[in-house]
Every structure is written in structure tokens, then in C-alpha cells.
Amino acid sequence: MTILTVCEFGMNRSRRLAEHLSSLGYNTLYGGVREPRDVLQEKISTADVIISVHPKITEKLMLFDLGEKRIISLDVPDVYEQPGWNPSSAQNWMRARETSVYPKLIEQIDKYLPLQP
């Protein structure tokens, strides 16, 4: 079974979630809704399960041919989307993601484990 994790650009939230699932033994891909359409569509076609990191991403995924894929929609905004986040107080974006965003990804996906198509 192949799991595709999707965020906005396919660089942070989806990658981290894919790494977590891979460490649990799942075959994973990651991507972003802003990737070239054909690139993301190929990943979607390969996947058995698609995990969106946020409802806004899920809405954008609906513009693709999803077939009968299982879609899991998490609700984890990126650092800059979170209420109260002040860019002047977060000198290190990665540190902010490590302490705020990534733990929420793990917490939310763990509720769905073990994953089934």
C-alpha cells in the first residue's frame, strides 16, 4: 500500500508526515497542490491512500482525478497560518515547525493508524 501525503508546496508538512509514516513501515510519497498538475496527478494515481494536512488542501485536491482513493483530511496549519504567530518572535522557522506544527501532524495521523486502503 502506498500513502501520499499532501500539503501546499510538498516541502514541509507533507514531507515530515511521510517520514513519520515511513518510519512505521508504510510506503510513502509526498507532494503539494502547487506542484505541476501532472506531477501531483501521477503521485495521486500511484497512491492507495491520500492524506491532506489541512481542509484547504483537501478542497484543492478535489480538482484532481482521485478515483476511489481513500482521503484523510487532517487540520494542521503551517506556522504562519496559526493564530497568534508573530514572525518577529520566531527567528527560526524550522524550530517553530518542530515544536508546533510537526507534533500536531503526528498526533492527528496516529488516530487513523493502522492505515487501510
The answer to pTM > 0.85 is: yes
Residues 14 and 30: their CA atoms lie apart, in Å, by 5
- Structural domain contains residue 116: no
pLDDT of residue 67: 94
Query: Span 73-101, mean pLDDT?
Result: 68
CATH at 21? 3.40.50.2300
pLDDT of residue 37: 96
- Structural domain contains residue 15: yes
Q: What percent of the chain has pLDDT over 70?
A: 85
Is residue 93 predicted with pLDDT exceeding 70? no
- Structural domain contains residue 96: yes
pLDDT of residue 17: 96
- Structural domain contains residue 115: no
Long-range contacts of 35-39 (CB under 8 A, 24+ apart): 35/9, 35/10, 37/64
Question: Does residue 2 contact residue 47 with C-beta atoms inside 8 Å?
Answer: yes
pLDDT tens profile 13-30: 999 999 999 999 999 999
pLDDT of residue 63: 95
- Structural domain contains residue 12: yes
Residues of the domain holding 57: 2-110
- Structural domain contains residue 11: yes
- Count of domains forming the chain: 1
- Structural domain contains residue 68: yes
For the chain, give the mean pLDDT.
88
Interaxial angle between packed helices 13-23 and 102-110, expressed in degrees from 0 to 180 and rounded to the nearest 10:
50
- Structural domain contains residue 117: no
Banded pLDDT at 91 (limits 50, 70, 90): low
pLDDT of residue 94: 63
